A and B are shown apart, each in its own frame.
Chain A
Amino acid sequence: MIQHIDVHSVLQESSAGVYTDLVTRPTGRVVRERIQRVIAAGRGEGGGAPAIARMDFNGVGCMDYSCADEIVARLVREWPAVLLLRTLTDGHREAIQPVLAAHGLAVLVEQPDGTLDALGTPAAAVELLAQLVIQRLARRLPGGTFVLLAT
């Protein structure tokens, strides 16, 4: 099961529609807590924890290191679901990559063509991909790239 989370909407709800940038720890904390509630609610409906939480960053402006840590790194550390990020800008990647690498963590990134990329520590990314393949949620293509099977 994949759960879809629109990060921009969560940010707007968290800031009464005022902010479009994911900056500062307090903002990151509020957004993460809302995302955790969304994921928890999804678990209730499906009867089990979602295997993948797909977080869409479309519409999110700047993301700083504090928010990358407070949202992405903490979710990876504290939540059993695989995080799949999409519609990331280069700026978002720049914030997320070093924060995850510092913790030895990784997330997967869904490319527009459906193939999977990773951010963070390579060894942790390999483990995530293997986990998805075992669960038949992704498969390896002949060229060595991975593609998501579940939607």
Chain B
Amino acid sequence: MTRLVDVPTQLDDRSFDQFTGAFAAATKDGERLLFDAHAAEWASPYGLVGLLVAGEAARHRSGGPPPLLTAPTNPDVASYWARAGFFREAAELFEIHGRLPKGKPREESDVLLPVTAVRAAEDVHEVVSKIQQRASTILASELQLDPKATMGFAMALSEACQNIVEHAGVGGWVAVQSYHWRRTLARRVVVIATGDAGVGFRHSLEPTQAKRFGDRWGDAAALEAALIQGVSRFRDPGRGQGLAGIRRYLARWDGKIAIRSGTARIAIVPNWDDDVPLKEGLPAFPGAQVLIIIPEQGSATR
């Protein structure tokens, strides 16, 4: 028997827990999953990476045939997902049904980094090298970011990717895009999304932090320890610099970070957004997913 997982028509960080709820419900009995994205109209980098994470988790959980995925029927949407690098990665995880765009997808100016697998330090080098070649002009011209900000952007991207390599225990994905953020901002933004189906923050930090938190220990406490307190699973005093560095960078450029892991999600929310700082009791979802947003500078109300 196959269990259906509906992919929201607008798959982004807002609708993501509608998706994780469907995923959690469908995975209860170990049946093969069908991810139904035929009606999809749009997906953010966060949504695309999250869909891959679900696919990987489903594939490894069952040990049987790969999960199924129906591609968006709208050719423009399917074409966009192809240009964003989604199908190239998805082909290794899903049995894909539906009409996919043929040929090599042309490069899209708003796709600063297509969905890219991150499994080792070498991949992080590759990502940082690519983003410096591709992003600096766009960040400066479209987002009016200071040239200093583009170097900081590469550093933040590097640290976000290393988080996967060092803590997940498995590989993950990263994607970077620039687009118009209509929801609350009406400005252009550049978005970094990473995701993995690994052990998650709670499991990673449990050996060193659980005792300190006592009864409060859980997904939310682990996220708070990592993002707010800057703790790391390593006892080395130099560890924990990565997320702290990302926070400093985002504070300077009025950016946002949100991390979802297990059943919780934590965010550092700038004035321009209406997200909540902490959500608990979300549907369980494997690994960790990170969303970083840097808005266009200049017209911001700080």
A interface residue count range (under 10 / 10 to 19 / 20 to 34 / 35 or more): 20 to 34
Q: Is B206 engaged at the interface, CB distance under 8 Å to the other chain?
A: no
The secondary structure that dominates the A interface is helix
Cβ–Cβ < 8 Å partners of B129 in chain A: 19-21, 61
B106-129 interface bits toward A, Cβ cutoff 8 Å, 1 = contact, 0 = none: 000000000000000100110011
* Shortest distance from the beta carbon of A22 to any chain B beta carbon, whole Å: 10
Cβ–Cβ < 8 Å partners of B96 in chain A: none
Q: Is A87 engaged at the interface, CB distance under 8 Å to the other chain?
A: no
Cβ–Cβ < 8 Å partners of B159 in chain A: 64-66
In contact, B152 and A102 (Cβ under 8 angstroms): no
Q: Is B137 engaged at the interface, CB distance under 8 Å to the other chain?
A: no
Cβ–Cβ < 8 Å partners of B248 in chain A: 98
Q: Is A59 engaged at the interface, CB distance under 8 Å to the other chain?
A: no
Number of A-B residue pairs, CB cutoff 8 Å, is 89
Q: Is B245 engaged at the interface, CB distance under 8 Å to the other chain?
A: yes
In contact, A66 and B132 (Cβ under 8 angstroms): no
**How many residues from B make CB contacts under 8 Å with A?**
24
Which single member of A61, A73, A94, A98 contacts B132 (CB below 8 Å)?
A61
In contact, B154 and A62 (Cβ under 8 angstroms): yes
In contact, A24 and B238 (Cβ under 8 angstroms): no
Q: Is A95 engaged at the interface, CB distance under 8 Å to the other chain?
A: yes
In contact, A23 and B151 (Cβ under 8 angstroms): no
B125-142 interface bits toward A, Cβ cutoff 8 Å, 1 = contact, 0 = none: 100110010000000000
Q: Is B162 engaged at the interface, CB distance under 8 Å to the other chain?
A: yes
* Shortest distance from the beta carbon of B239 to any chain A beta carbon, whole Å: 8
Give complex CA distance A70, B238 in Å: 8
Give complex CA distance A27, B125 in Å: 9
The secondary structure that dominates the B interface is helix
* Shortest distance from the beta carbon of A27 to any chain B beta carbon, whole Å: 6
A78-110 interface bits toward B, Cβ cutoff 8 Å, 1 = contact, 0 = none: 000000000001110011001100110000000
Q: Is B242 engaged at the interface, CB distance under 8 Å to the other chain?
A: yes
Which single member of B152, B154, B158, B237 contacts A66 (CB below 8 Å)?
B158
Which single member of B151, B238, B241 contacts A90 (CB below 8 Å)?
B151
Give complex CA distance A104, B166 in Å: 26
Cβ–Cβ < 8 Å partners of A62 in chain B: 128, 132, 151, 154-155, 158
Cβ–Cβ < 8 Å partners of B257 in chain A: none
Cβ–Cβ < 8 Å partners of A56 in chain B: none
Q: Is B148 engaged at the interface, CB distance under 8 Å to the other chain?
A: yes
B146-158 interface bits toward A, Cβ cutoff 8 Å, 1 = contact, 0 = none: 0010011011001
**Given A94-B155, A98-B245: A21 and B148 interface contact (C-beta under 8 Å):** no
Q: Is B58 engaged at the interface, CB distance under 8 Å to the other chain?
A: no
Q: Is A74 engaged at the interface, CB distance under 8 Å to the other chain?
A: yes
Which single member of B121, B148, B166, B241 contacts A99 (CB below 8 Å)?
B241
* Shortest distance from the beta carbon of B212 to any chain A beta carbon, whole Å: 20
Give complex CA distance A95, B154 in Å: 11
Cβ–Cβ < 8 Å partners of A102 in chain B: 241, 244
Give complex CA distance A99, B237 in Å: 11
Cβ–Cβ < 8 Å partners of A26 in chain B: 121
**Given A61-B132, A95-B155: A66 and B242 interface contact (C-beta under 8 Å):** yes
Q: Give B contacts to A, CB under 8 Å.
A: 121, 124-125, 128-129, 132, 148, 151-152, 154-155, 158-159, 162, 165-166, 237-239, 241-242, 244-245, 248
Given contacts A91-B152, A102-B244, 14 further A-B contacts (CB under 8 A): A20-B129, A21-B125, A24-B158, A25-B166, A61-B132, A62-B128, A62-B155, A63-B155, A64-B162, A66-B159, A70-B238, A90-B151, A99-B241, A102-B241
Q: Give A contacts to B, CB under 8 Å.
A: 15, 18-21, 23-27, 61-66, 68-70, 73-74, 89-91, 94-95, 98-99, 102-103
List the 7 closest pairs (A to B, CB-CB), nearest first: A91-B151, A65-B245, A24-B121, A69-B238, A64-B158, A65-B241, A23-B158
